[in-house]
Amino acid sequence: MAASSASSSAADPAAALDALVAAKGPLASSAAAQRDDAIERFEANLEQARAEIQEANAAECARAEADGLSAPLLRRLRLDGRHYDGMLASLRALRALPDPIGGVFDESEQPSGITTARMRVPLGVICFIYESRPAVTADGAALCVKSGNAAILRGGKEALQSNLLIAAQMDRALKEAGLPAAVAMLPTADRAPLDAILADPRIDMVIPRGGPGLVRKVKETARCMVLAHLDGNCHVYVAASADLAMARRIAVNAKIGNPSTCNAAESLLVHEDAAAALLPPLAAELAAKGVVLRGCEATRALLGDAAEAAAEEDWGREYLDLVLSCKIVPDTAAAIAWINRYGSHHTDCIVSGDAAEQQRFCREVDSSSVLVNTSTRFADGYEYGLGAETGISTGKFHARGPVGLEGLTTAKWVVRSAGAVRE
Amino acid sequence: MAASSASSSAADPAAALDALVAAKGPLASSAAAQRDDAIERFEANLEQARAEIQEANAAECARAEADGLSAPLLRRLRLDGRHYDGMLASLRALRALPDPIGGVFDESEQPSGITTARMRVPLGVICFIYESRPAVTADGAALCVKSGNAAILRGGKEALQSNLLIAAQMDRALKEAGLPAAVAMLPTADRAPLDAILADPRIDMVIPRGGPGLVRKVKETARCMVLAHLDGNCHVYVAASADLAMARRIAVNAKIGNPSTCNAAESLLVHEDAAAALLPPLAAELAAKGVVLRGCEATRALLGDAAEAAAEEDWGREYLDLVLSCKIVPDTAAAIAWINRYGSHHTDCIVSGDAAEQQRFCREVDSSSVLVNTSTRFADGYEYGLGAETGISTGKFHARGPVGLEGLTTAKWVVRSAGAVRE
C-alpha cells in the first residue's frame, strides 16, 4: 500500500507545498477538457482499485470500532458499496458541470478606449481538512482539479490508509491526463505538520469539513481565508400576517426533516398576535413527532407543561436533535434583532403574507440565506442549483451561504487595448 | 468647535460602536433616495461651513509645518479652495451613482419550485483609517452612507479639528435626512482606542488609506477583512512578439506618468530576443526623462554604464520614484514566474502580439489586474468605470483590484416559495 500511495503522500509538508505551488501555473492554464479527463480517469482508477480500497476501509472500520470510535464517526468512516457508488456518482456529476475558470464577464469599453473585463481564475492552493469520511478525499481532490486549484488534503487518522489509496488514484489520473501532481495528502499521525500548513502563506484557502471543534480550531489557527460555518442556529419566524397552516408545515419540516443537519431549525419565533392560534396545535404536532419544546415565559403561559422552560443559553444553541426553542416576540423588528443577536448567520426564514415585511426581513437579517415562506431545509448547494457543494459559509466575504465551484475561484481584472497610454 | 462636533466624535469607542451597530438595520432598509438626500445635505452643510473648516485646516497646516511634518504629508493635509471644491465634486459624483444595495441578481427557479436569488446588502460597520488628508473624512463617510454602511473614521492627529468639523456636517445631514447617526469619528490622540476598534468583532471591514507602514500595522492588528494593498511593484513585460514602438511608449508612460502612484511601473522585463532592439533606444529615452535604470547582468552587458547594477532587493521594490529595474528573461514562462515571485499582485502588463501568449499571461500572472498592451497607469477605479474608488485590493478575496461601491457590499441568498417544504 505504501508504494502505491507514496507520490500523493506529503511526508514533508513544506516540500509538498513547493510542488503544489509549482503546479499552479500549468493548472490555471490547462484546458477544461484536460481537467475533466483527469477526473474521468480518477473515476476509472477508483473503479479498478475498488476492492483494495474497500478492504483497507473495512480493516480501518474494524480497528476504529475496536478503539471505541463514536457511532456517528464510525458511520462516516464506512465506505461500503453504496457509499462507494455515491462517491463515483458525485465525481461524474462534478465532471459534467461547466468549466468554472477562464470565463470572462463584465466586459466593458471605457471612454479612454481600453476594454476592461473580469476573468475567473483558480485561487491557487486549497487545503481541505476533514474528519473520518474518506469520500471527502475524492470529493475535495476532484473539486480542486475541476476548478484548476492545487489541493492539500488532511483527513482523519482513522481513515489514513483509505485516504492515501484514494489520493493515489487521483495522482495517477493527473499523470495520465498530462497534468502536474496537484493533489497531496498529509499524513495525519501528528498535529505539527497541519499547523505548519495552516500558517503557510502559500495556502490560499482552508476548507474545514467537520464538527464545530474542528472548525473553531482551524479558524483560530489559519492565517488565510477559511470557508466554513461554525454552526447553524436557524430560525423560523412566524409573522402576524402568516398563513398559519403554511407556518406549521414549514416549522415541522424545518425541525424534523433532518435534525442533524446544519440547516435544521433550532428556534421558532412567533409574533404575539399569531401565538395563540399557532402554538397549541403546532406544539401538539411536534410533540407527536418526538420534539421537545423549550419556551420563553409567554410560550409556557400559553402551552403550560407542553413546553419546558428555556434557559438563556438555549437561544444560541444548535441542538442537532429533536429539540426546538420557542420565543414569542412583539413585532418583526424584535424578531430581526433577536435573530441577529442569537443566530449564527446561517439560514433564517420568515413566514409572512406581507411583502413589505418580507422585504425588511430580507434586507436586515444578517444571514447568508434568508428564506421567505420556505423551509430552512432548502439551504443547500444542490437545492440552490450549484451542482456541487464545497461547503456553507457564514462569513460575509468571498462566498456566502452554500458554495459551489465558484467559491474555489476568484476574479482578476483583465484590461486590453492597442497600446493605450494614460495622459 | 467642540460643541458642533460632539455628536460625531466617538470619545468612547465601545459606545460609539454600539450606536453604529444599532444604526445598521435602518440603514440597510433605507431607500436610496434617503441616503442620497443625506449626501446632498452633507454637501450643502460643507458649503455652509466652508469658512470655518478652511480656517481650522489653515491653523492645523501652520501648526504641522511648525512641528516639522514632512512635505508630502503637509501637502495632503492642505484643504485649500481647489481641494475643497474637489471634495464637493466627488460627493456629487458619488451621489449620482446607482444604488449599490438592494439589487437582486442571479434569480433562478429551481426544480423543487423554490426561487433562489442573491441580494446586494451592506457589509455593516466599516472602519476607515487614514493619514493626514481631511478630504478622506468626507469621502469615507459618504461612501459608507451611499452603500448603507455605518462608518467609524480615524484620521491623522494633525487634521483632527478639520476632520471633526467635516464629520459633524455628515452627522447633521443624516439627522436632517431622517437617518440614524451612522458615522462616528475617533479622536486620534492615542493609539489604544484604535487597537480596541480593530479587535472588535462588530467591525466588518477595515480600509486603511496611507503608506505601507499604516497598511502593514492594520493588517497585523485587524481581526476582520482588510481592504488594502501593501505596495505596487508593477511590471511591464515585453515579449518577443511585441510591437517595440508600442512597448517603448507603454514602458515610458507606465514609469513616468506619475511615479509616485501605486500603478506606476517599477520593473521592466524583456524577452531576450527583444532586448537588443528595444533596450538601447528605450534606455536613452528614459535617461533623457531622468529615469535611473537598474539592470540585471545581461541588461548591463547590453547597455553598459547606461544602467546601474541591480541588487537582489531591487526586484521587489516599489521605488515610487524615477527608478526602474530591468531584467532580461529567456521566455514568457520565466517572466510569469518572475512576476509571481517578486511582484506585489497589484498590476502587471504584457506587451505582446501573440494571442496565446497574452492569454497565458492573463491566466497565470497572479495579480489583481493583468493588462495586455496597455499602460499600468490605467489601473484605477475611475479608469475602470467604477465611478468611485474605495481603494485597490491585492488580496484574492471579496474585492480584487480597484474597488468601487460594490466592494462595500456583500450578497446574501434570498429564497422564496409559496410554503415549500423539503421531502
DSSP string computed for B52-74 = HHHHHHHHHHHHHHHTT--HHHH
pLDDT at B115: 98
Q: Inform me whether the C-beta atom of residue B409 falls under 8 Å from chain A C-beta atoms.
A: no
To which CATH superfamily is domain A234-377 assigned?
A: Aldehyde Dehydrogenase; Chain A, domain 2 (3.40.309.10)
- Closest CA of chain A from B203, distance in Å: 12
Q: What is the mean pLDDT of each run of 10 residues along chain A (423 residues)?
A: 45 86 95 98 98 97 94 90 96 97 96 97 96 92 98 92 96 98 83 83 92 88 88 96 98 96 97 98 98 98 96 96 98 97 97 98 97 97 92 93 96 98 93
CATH no. of B234-383: 3.40.309.10
Across chain B, what does the average pLDDT equal? 94
Are the beta carbons of B159 and B57 closer than 8 angstroms?
Answer: yes
B-chain residues within 8 Å CB-CB of A410?
396-397, 400
- Closest CA of chain A from B120, distance in Å: 9
CB contact under 8 A, A378 and B422: yes
- Closest CA of chain A from B369, distance in Å: 4
Q: Inform me whether the C-beta atom of residue A246 falls under 8 Å from chain B C-beta atoms.
A: yes
Q: A333 φ, ψ to 5°?
A: -60, -40
Please give the residue of chain A at the shortest CA–CA distance from B365.
A25
Pairwise CA distance, residues A17 & A183, whole Å: 10
CATH 3.40.605.10 residue ranges for chain A: 2-228
Q: Quickly state the pLDDT bin for B327 (edges 50, 70, 90).
A: very high
Three-state DSSP class for residue B115:
strand
Three-state DSSP class for residue B148:
coil
A-chain residues within 8 Å CB-CB of B257?
421-422
Q: Torsion angle of alpha carbons B347, B353, B357, B358, nearest 10°? A: 30
CB contact under 8 A, A373 and B420: yes
A-chain residues within 8 Å CB-CB of B351?
419
pLDDT at B5: 38
Q: Inform me whether the C-beta atom of residue A384 falls under 8 Å from chain B C-beta atoms.
A: yes
B-chain residues within 8 Å CB-CB of A107?
none
A-chain residues within 8 Å CB-CB of B416?
371-374
Chain A from 117 to 176: CB within 8 A of any B CB:
119, 121, 123-124
Partner-chain residue, chosen from A112, A364, A373, that has the shortest CB–CB distance to B378: A112
pLDDT digits (tens, 9 = 90+) for B202-227: 999 999 988 888 899 998 888 889 99
Name the architecture of domain B2-227+403-415. Answer: 3-Layer(aba) Sandwich (3.40)
DSSP letters, B343-401, are: S-SSEEEEE-S-HHHHHHHHHHS-SSEEEEEE-GGG-STTTTT-SS--EEE-SSSSS-E
Q: What is the ipTM of this complex?
A: 0.93
Q: Quickly state the pLDDT bin for B195 (edges 50, 70, 90).
A: confident
Please give the residue of chain A at the shortest CA–CA distance from B220.
A223
Pairwise CA distance, residues A269 & B412, whole Å: 21
Chain A from 195 to 224: CB within 8 A of any B CB:
204
pLDDT at A7: 46
Three-state DSSP class for residue B414:
strand
Partner-chain residue, chosen from A24, A415, A418, that has the shortest CB–CB distance to B371: A415
B-chain residues within 8 Å CB-CB of A336?
25
Three-state DSSP class for residue B161:
helix
Q: A208 φ, ψ to 5°?
A: -90, 130
CB contact under 8 A, A375 and B124: no
Partner-chain residue, chosen from A400, A402, A422, that has the shortest CB–CB distance to B375: A422
Pairwise CA distance, residues B225 & B219, whole Å: 9
C-alpha cell at A213: 471543534
B-chain residues within 8 Å CB-CB of A417?
372-374, 378
Pairwise CA distance, residues A185 & B108, whole Å: 37
C-alpha cell at A181: 501532481
Helix A50-66 vs helix A32-48: angle between axes, to the nearest 10 degrees? 70
Mean of pLDDT values over B303-331: 97
Pairwise CA distance, residues B366 & A410, whole Å: 10
A-chain residues within 8 Å CB-CB of B29?
360, 363-364
B-chain residues within 8 Å CB-CB of A400?
410-413
Are the beta carbons of B148 and B120 closer than 8 angstroms?
Answer: no
Q: What angle do CA B95, B96, B97 make, to 5 degrees?
A: 95
CB contact under 8 A, A412 and B377: no
A341-372: buried (b, 16+ CB within 10 Å) or exposed (e) per residue?
A: ebbbbbbbbbbbeeeebbbbbbbbbbbbbbbb
Q: Inform me whether the C-beta atom of residue A102 falls under 8 Å from chain B C-beta atoms.
A: yes
- Closest CA of chain B from A210, distance in Å: 23
CATH 3.40.605.10 residue ranges for chain B: 2-227+403-415
CATH no. of A2-228: 3.40.605.10
Residues 6+ apart with CB under 8 A from A71: none
Pairwise CA distance, residues A163 & A157, whole Å: 9
pLDDT at B138: 97
Pairwise CA distance, residues A266 & B360, whole Å: 49
Pairwise CA distance, residues A176 & A181, whole Å: 11
Q: Which residues pair with A108 in a beta bridge?
A: A116
Chosen from B99, B121, B225, B362 to mutate, greatest number of chain A CBs within 10 A? B362
Please give the residue of chain B at the shortest CA–CA distance from A357.
B29
Pairwise CA distance, residues B5 & B54, whole Å: 15
Helix A355-364 vs helix A332-342: angle between axes, to the nearest 10 degrees? 20
Partner-chain residue, chosen from A363, A411, A422, that has the shortest CB–CB distance to B102: A363
Partner-chain residue, chosen from B225, B243, B420, that has the shortest CB–CB distance to A397: B225
Q: Inform me whether the C-beta atom of residue A99 falls under 8 Å from chain B C-beta atoms.
A: no
CB contact under 8 A, B421 and A124: no
A-chain residues within 8 Å CB-CB of B249?
419, 421
Three-state DSSP class for residue B208:
strand
CB contact under 8 A, B364 and A123: no
